[in-house]
Amino acid sequence: MKKIFLTIVAAATLLTSCKKEEPKKEVETNQEFEKLLVDYNEGKLKLNPLNATFAGDNRFNDQFPNFLSDEYALESKDFFTNYKAKLEGFSDDQLTESQQMSKAVLAWDCDMALAQGSFKNDQLLPINQMWTVNLTMGQLASGSSAQPFNTVKDYENWFSRLDKFNTWLQSAKSRMEQGIKEGYVLPKSLINKVIPQFQGLAETPLKEHLFYSPINNFPADFSDEDKKALEKQYSNILEEKLIPSFKALHEFLSSDYLNAGLEVSGIDAVPQGKEYYQHSIKNYTTTNMTADEIHELGLKEVARILSEMEKVKQQVGFEGDLKSFFDFVRNNKELMPYTEPQQIIDNFNAIHEKMKPQLEKLFGNKPKTPFIVKQTEKFREASASAEYNPGSLDGTRPGVFYTPIPDATKYNVFSDEALFLHEAIPGHHYQISLTQENKDLPGFRKTLWYSAYGEGWALYTENLGKELGLYTDPYQYFGMLGMEMHRAIRLVVDTGMHAKGWSREKAIQYSLDNEAESEASIISEIERYMANPGQALSYKIGQLKIRELRKKAKDALGDKFDIREFHNQVLETGCIPLALLENKIDKWIASLK
């Protein structure tokens, strides 16, 4: 089909080449379409006001819809169905090139939301150990995240949000009871990770409670009268509502839910599990790849990276096989030099300073939004991975690179350079901040997240280390290979567990055999993939596509290829599905020939 299409295009070009080409008519910005984009963004923020808070939009800080209710599901379905229909009223020839991209992205966004809503998973599996709103609310309650606690009104907004969150907690228990009846239950190993989280929320004394943090950290300018009134109101909310709900969930999770927990690891064990997994693959990779195709790709990537690791093993003079070298690296005390969490944070800041002078060689634009490194909060640290939380849209709240440090003396530094590139600069912090600061993008695209693009970009940047003056230490280069291997392994074990009947234990062993991460870290990662099927596939799929596009552009443009402009072309659109990114790069290449 492709050859036929190209032949037709070539013939058409020959037939018209003798004619004088008329200049392409410039299309003016379609204001009606612009209004649709504004309305869509506003509607999405109202549907999920937590996203508004994290974006720095404080208009909905008192809101928390019951995401688990049938009413919310219907409201969401109506919203996305309505906007999908509205898009049909605009043809591409009525829109600028930028608006055409927004139309395609909005259509994809609606399609994925409607497909997600057609499954029961979000309602009947509302809690896991990694990514659920109870953990998000814990972050907000800590006072160090996006929820502001600067005025009395801020506290009142938070109290109102907590009251609605309590309704969600009660609904979560009801939905999980329904899930037991219908066959939607978490694997036992994941339930055992959630139980301690709720135990802490249920049993911690009031004034030491995570959710009490805003009272322990009143702004200095609050009057004693305001402090006393707010403390009384907040104590009542916690003691009479939230803590009883936490206790009820802890008791339920520890008994009925644990007893019903699945012995298997894959999502294919729940009703419509196979269909849900294929949807998740499409949602997270933005491709139509199948589980089998991704599994085979993963096996090939694992083999390729193993051969590169072998070269590093030989370079450092290690005698023994690669598996023994993995054990050596993961247990090498010389790679665990720290005793305090702050030393680890200081090391990340030193990595930043080391590569700063080289950034201009690869990037023409840099974000204005500030950036900091922080230790992951204790209440979620045991099950957390390193992560990046974006700054506010206006740049007043910095982006945060969170790193879990349960025990600084056991923290291995061998992958820290690659980790900083991925989570911070020029990975997530660069990509997300530049998107948020881009005045040419409509509001809804500034906060969109497509994992294949976002995580693919971050993984791609790990390979820029040598160009940025890093990876001079062979162990740090091995760390980069290790992180790439980690993402290649994900292609194998995620599809293995969710589509090929692999057990949790088989996935853990496969990882131990092919990478140098600690066993504790690998177990946490495998259970993460169990909790969120398909998400882990996005990194490698996106990275490989961006690499492919860089090679395509370099081969086509030769001396005209500018790496800074290539990176700008990738970053200036914000998060988009990979097919749209490829189309954009193809147009850029054609414009320079």
pLDDT in tens, 503-542: 999 999 999 999 998 899 899 999 999 999 999 999 999 9
Q: What is the DSSP letter of 425?
A: T
pLDDT at 434 over 60: yes
What is the per-residue pLDDT for 2?
Answer: 36
Residues of the chain above pLDDT 90, percent:
91
Closest by CA position to 374, among listed 350, 353, 398, 345: 345
Highest mean pLDDT among 5-14, 381-390, 530-539: 530-539
What is the per-residue pLDDT for 19?
Answer: 42
Q: What is the DSSP letter of 19?
A: S
State the average pLDDT over residues 450-477.
Answer: 98
Q: How far is CA 379 from CA 198, 201, 294, 339, 400, in A?
A: 10, 9, 35, 21, 17
pLDDT at 22 over 80: no
DSSP states of 500-536: S---HHHHHHHHHHH--S-HHHHHHHHHHHHHSTTGG
Separation CA 175–CA 184 (nearest Å): 10
Specify the higher pLDDT residue, 425 or 17: 425
- Rounded to 10 deg, the angle between the 133-141 and 188-203 helix axes is 30
Q: What angle do CA 215, 217, 223 make, to 5 degrees?
A: 75
Separation CA 593–CA 589 (nearest Å): 7
pLDDT at 5 over 60: no
Q: Identify the band that residue 183 occupies on the pLDDT scale cut at 50, 70 and 90.
A: very high
pLDDT at 16 over 90: no
Separation CA 247–CA 209 (nearest Å): 13
What is the per-residue pLDDT for 26?
Answer: 76
Closest by CA position to 404, among listed 389, 387, 417: 387
Separation CA 553–CA 560 (nearest Å): 9
Whether residue 49 has a cis bond before it, omega within 30° of 0: no
State the average pLDDT over residues 107-112.
Answer: 98
Among left, alpha and beta (phi > 0; psi -120 to 50; other), residue 272 is left
Neighbouring C-alpha atoms within 13 Å toward the C-beta of 168? 23
Q: Give the torsion through C-alpha atoms of 373, 375, 381, 383, to 10 deg.
A: 30
Separation CA 147–CA 154 (nearest Å): 8
Q: Identify the band that residue 4 occupies on the pLDDT scale cut at 50, 70 and 90.
A: very low
- CB 180 within 8 Å of CB 261: no
CA 394 to chain CA centroid, Å, is 21
Cβ count within 10 A of residue 100:
18
